[in-house]
Amino acid sequence: MRSTPHQSPRKRRRLGTGARAAPAVLTAGLLTAGLLSGPAASARPEPEPSLTTMSVKSPPGGANVRVLIFHGSAAPGDESPLVNAGIEAIERIGLSGPVDQRFKVEATDDASVFTDGTRLGRFNAIVFLTGGGDVLDPEQEAGLEAYMEAGGGFVGIHDAARAEPYSAWFTGLIGARPASASPADVQRATVEAGDRLHPATRDLPVQWKRPDRWLNWVKNPSGTVHTVARVRESTYRPGTGAAGWDHPVSWCRDYDGGRSFYTGMGGTVSSYDETDFRAHLRGALLWTTRLVRADCKATIDGNYRAERLTKPNQPGRNDQIGEPHGLVTAPDGRVFYIGRGGADSSQPVITDWNDPDIGKGRGEIHVYDPRTGQVTLAGALTVFGNKGGGDELVKVEEGLLGIELDPRFEENGWVYLHYTPHSGIDRETRTAKRRVSRFTLDRATDRLDPGSEKVLLEWPVQIHSCCHAGGGMAWDSRGNLYIATGDNNSSRFSDGYSGNNPEPAYKGVSFADARRTAGNTNNLNGKILRIHPEPDGTYTLPEGNLFTGEETDEGGGKTRGEIYVMGVRNPARIFVDKTTDVLYAGWVGPDASAPSPVWGPAKYDTFAVITEAGNRGWPYCMGNKQPYRDRNLPDPSKPLGWYDCDRPRNESPNNDGLVNLPPVTGNNIWYSPQGGGPDFPRDAAGIPSYRLEDAAYRLPWLKGGGQAAMNGPVYRRAAVTPGSDVAWPAYWDGKWFIGDFYDADQPRNAVLMDPRTQGDGGLPVHSESLKKIVPVGNDGIKNLMDWKFGPDGALYVLDYGRGFFTSDAKSALWRVTYTGGGPTPAAGQLARGAQS
């Protein structure tokens, strides 16, 4: 309790003159032993809250907005200087800003206010600026509970999380309890203000660097509260109670009829002098006082519902789903999804090259209609893609690989398919023709008309060896079609490092040298192509691709004008954000489990934000321009020089394109079995050490192992059909969804990029896990194959199933919907009427 009046910008009305007598007496020893760091086994039993007959106006407060600051404390000795600093800051906040967002402030350390319903009902929000401890008796706590039930607002700051240590209800109000192992010293750290819409964070820097006393938590509240900001533990010393990469520091939620906001910041006097911290508190107070509405539900796991939409296939029939490989949503809400061509386990698989039916499969197109809940088979193509699993020289990843709908699909019914027709294979040379074709859907029968095929683009692939077919497609806002192709290369013969062994070949065609494909300016494999389909079934080349196809360099005839991005290994999924026309892609890396000082980086699965045409490095460089070692004939086992990522050269005997290649652009996200964003010290020539013990992990929120990157969408709330009651909230707007086929340590996250740096390999500035929203596990979406938002704003997801090169009972289409409702308070309960 202060012994002298506090001087402030205006006279503050004090509601009491002293601390209440009721709190239990706690010794300093108990306090420092961690009693106030969360419920303790040695603490007295939690008292039963006494019933109160107190009535509080609902909702509390009115247009003459008032905020009550309660600063009672059970700690002995003088009042913390944080109290004066906090009161002064909140008073300044209340007196500043737009006139219609100002409010009055009163402060007290007298807890009897919580048993006076008339007095309590005058306040729109209550701020706990306490030093912790058992500051309310049961009747007073019941009064605070009645206040919240009436629709009141609550803001807790820093040590407020140590108040009422025996109360489960207060724990719920705060959201989490500080751990006793929280560091005591002031440290400078980076706060990620990941909610770009909430008034408490929308005007803050996304990466907010500031000093404070950082609290650890007894139990991480993520998923039970809506986190608006996290502190990045890699930027300070969190101590033994560290939470890891997901360390919430400010959060909110609708609680027990009211609105609760808590920040773990504000542990230093200087915090309250910071413009940004006061802006943070202002936003919290605007919401809790009912001056503005905000969404504090968007990241609470329980506000989402994941449901399986398709049933298991009937025996011997793919009546619901084929071997899942991609999906697209139509403007009317229907979901078109494809099966690559792997047979049901009951069907025969032919692997004998002497048999004309080798690898013959059915690439199927199914359609789910949300209006009826029914699945129909729209069509099937005879593809090369059914050889089962096994060795690299047996299995195959060709087949029906991608699907897109024409931008004017509702008018013309055009469907684009990326596939490998069985009719185009040459068993003698073990090559095939891959193509992108346009088909017409007969809207009277909902069937694909096989006679309507228009072949837009066709190119050769080797089929002697697996793998890496890619397959994803996407449109931009200008009607350009992007087509992802894999490097058509074996994973073997290079010890899991750069796929650059020029020696293995069949009938003169290399199948282990990605310099023939991904690193070749004259080959369409290992690329992201960009074309502009025309109504007559042809295509033109848009400006701004990597090449025009008419370059005269090195004698001419060594480039393809369809190439937008070169140097990608296996980009199964791509996405174009039509709001910005930025391309998002992910691709699978090689197989080396650890880096090698001789050969280079380990397997890196990669995600990239691509803002312009360029070279993404494979098979010369990976990650943030980490080079591989060259090899060549006559002895590919002998390491040669390191590739130069700024001036790469293709000196493979299998190259028919340019020798001098475009410089490599660094990628935004890469991960290995050891962790996310591995990086190493570099020597004077810029070559990383590649010693595992030297690695620093720049992206601690993800990790690989078995890994297969599955790029996802960028959510745009404005694209949702008006009136949808299942749409994900606007909180996710602009966030990029990245995932992995596997569901253990591998990523399933939403990340936020910085538009200023994303095109040059800038790292994400914020990430959050989706694993409890898009559920993992054998009975969830364990093996993520594709995911896209529909026009209803729900997320549609393909689970591949539990086998490989086939479908099974777990192969399914899922939908994840939002059930949490809109922002609060209700528009009719705003303190000063509707917001403009």
Name the token pair of 834: 């509707």
Examine the domain organization and report whether 213 and 330 are in the same domain: no
pLDDT higher than 50, residue 307: yes
Examine the domain organization and report whether 495 and 575 are in the same domain: yes
Q: What is the pTM of this model?
A: 0.93
Examine the domain organization and report whether 274 and 363 are in the same domain: no
Distance of CA 671 to the CA centre of its chain: 15
Helices (runs of H) and strands (runs of E) counted in the chain: 7, 42
**How large is the average pLDDT for residues 495-513?**
96
Residue with tokens 């005007």: 203
- The predicted pLDDT at position 51 comes to 61
Classify strands 66-70 and 104-108 as parallel, antiparallel or unpaired: parallel
Q: What is the mean pLDDT of the chain?
A: 92
Name the packing angle between helices 81-95 and 275-288 (round to 10°).
70
Name the token pair of 522: 């004259």
Contact 341, 385 (CB under 8 A): yes
Phi, psi dihedrals of residue 210, rounded to the nearest 5°:
-160, 155
Is 733 contained in some domain? yes
Report the Cα–Cα distance between both ends of the chain, in Å, rounded.
42
- Write the DSSP assignment of 10-53 as a string of letters: SPPEES-SS--S-SPP--HHHHHTTGGGS--TTSPPPPPPPP--
Find residue 375's DSSP bridge partners. 368
pLDDT higher than 50, residue 168: yes
Is 780 contained in some domain? yes
Distance of CA 681 to the CA centre of its chain: 29
Contact 564, 468 (CB under 8 A): no
Range(s) of the domain holding residue 612: 320-818
Examine the domain organization and report whether 485 and 596 are in the same domain: yes
**How large is the average pLDDT for residues 267-292?**
98
d(CA 123, CA 498): 66
pLDDT band at 834 (very low <50, low <70, confident <90, very high): low
11-25, 105-119, 557-571, 784-798: which range is least confident on average?
11-25
Burial bucket for residue 724 (CB in 10 Å: 0-12, 13-18, 19+): middle
- Positive/negative CA dihedral, 345, 351, 352, 355: positive
Examine the domain organization and report whether 436 and 542 are in the same domain: yes
- The H-or-E segment that residue 786 falls in is strand 784-789
pLDDT band at 444 (very low <50, low <70, confident <90, very high): confident
Name the token pair of 533: 């389909």
pLDDT band at 361 (very low <50, low <70, confident <90, very high): very high
Phi-psi category of residue 771: left, alpha or beta, with phi > 0 → left and psi -120 to 50 → alpha? alpha
d(CA 644, CA 625): 9
Q: What is the pLDDT of residues 612-658, one digit of tens each?
A: 999 999 999 999 999 999 999 999 999 999 999 999 999 999 999 99
pLDDT higher than 60, residue 27: no
Examine the domain organization and report whether 229 and 106 are in the same domain: yes
Q: Which of 813, 625, 591, 583 is nearest to 711 (CA)?
A: 583
Name the token pair of 659: 């020798």
Phi, psi dihedrals of residue 373, rounded to the nearest 5°:
75, 15
Number of domains in the chain: 2
- The predicted pLDDT at position 443 comes to 80
- Positive/negative CA dihedral, 730, 731, 735, 738: negative
E strands in 271-323: 304-308
d(CA 685, CA 82): 52
Is 30 contained in some domain? no
**How large is the average pLDDT for residues 23-27?**
29
Residue with tokens 């001789």: 598
Examine the domain organization and report whether 514 and 565 are in the same domain: yes
Q: What is the pLDDT of residues 647-695, one digit of tens each?
A: 999 999 999 999 999 999 999 999 999 999 999 999 999 999 999 999 9
d(CA 61, CA 339): 59
Torsion of Cα atoms, 702 then 707 then 708 then 713, to 10°: -20
Q: Which of 783, 779, 788, 821 is nearest to 799 (CA)?
A: 783
- Side-chain-side CA neighbours of residue 746 (13 Å): 24
SS (H, E, C) 527-577: EEEEEEECCCCCEECCCCCCCCCCCCHHHCCCCCCCEEEECCCCCCEEEEE
Is 470 contained in some domain? yes
Name the token pair of 503: 């020696």
d(CA 98, CA 86): 21
Q: What is the pLDDT of residues 124-160, one digit of tens each?
A: 999 999 888 999 999 999 999 999 999 999 999 999 9
Is 225 contained in some domain? yes
Examine the domain organization and report whether 561 and 656 are in the same domain: yes
Other beta carbons within 10 Å of 85 = 18
Residue with tokens 């393909």: 798
Examine the domain organization and report whether 350 and 276 are in the same domain: no
Find residue 737's DSSP bridge partners. 750
Q: Which of 206, 175, 202 is nearest to 191 (CA)?
A: 206
Find residue 671's DSSP bridge partners. 605, 676
418: Cβ contacts below 8 Å, ≥ 6 apart: 400, 401, 402, 403, 434, 435, 436, 471, 473, 483
Examine the domain organization and report whether 296 and 370 are in the same domain: no
Find residue 255's DSSP bridge partners. 258
Name the token pair of 431: 């090559």
Q: Which of 242, 268, 300 is the last residue of a domain?
A: 300
Examine the domain organization and report whether 327 and 401 are in the same domain: yes
Is 214 contained in some domain? yes
Examine the domain organization and report whether 737 and 657 are in the same domain: yes
Is 434 contained in some domain? yes
Distance of CA 491 to the CA centre of its chain: 28
Q: What is the CATH number of the domain that holds 665?
A: 2.120.10.30
Distance of CA 259 to the CA centre of its chain: 27
Q: What is the CATH number of the domain that holds 250?
A: 3.40.50.880
Q: What 8-state DSSP symbol labels residue 111? A: G
Q: What is the pLDDT of residues 324-337, one digit of tens each?
A: 999 999 999 999 99
pLDDT band at 390 (very low <50, low <70, confident <90, very high): confident
Burial bucket for residue 392 (CB in 10 Å: 0-12, 13-18, 19+): middle
Q: Which of 300, 331, 354 is the last residue of a domain?
A: 300
Other beta carbons within 10 Å of 675 = 18
pLDDT higher than 90, residue 4: no
Is 671 contained in some domain? yes
Find residue 679's DSSP bridge partners. 696
Go through the chain and tell me how many residues it has: 836
d(CA 474, CA 806): 25
Query: Which amino acid belongs to residue 423?
Result: S
Phi, psi dihedrals of residue 483, rounded to the nearest 5°:
-130, 120
Q: What 8-state DSSP symbol labels residue 464? A: S
Distances (CA, A) of 530 to 427, 430, 588: 30, 27, 21
- Return the CA Rg of the chain: 30
Name the token pair of 818: 């939002």
Phi-psi category of residue 723: left, alpha or beta, with phi > 0 → left and psi -120 to 50 → alpha? left
| Most distant CA atoms of the chain, gap in Å | 98
- The predicted pLDDT at position 1 comes to 33
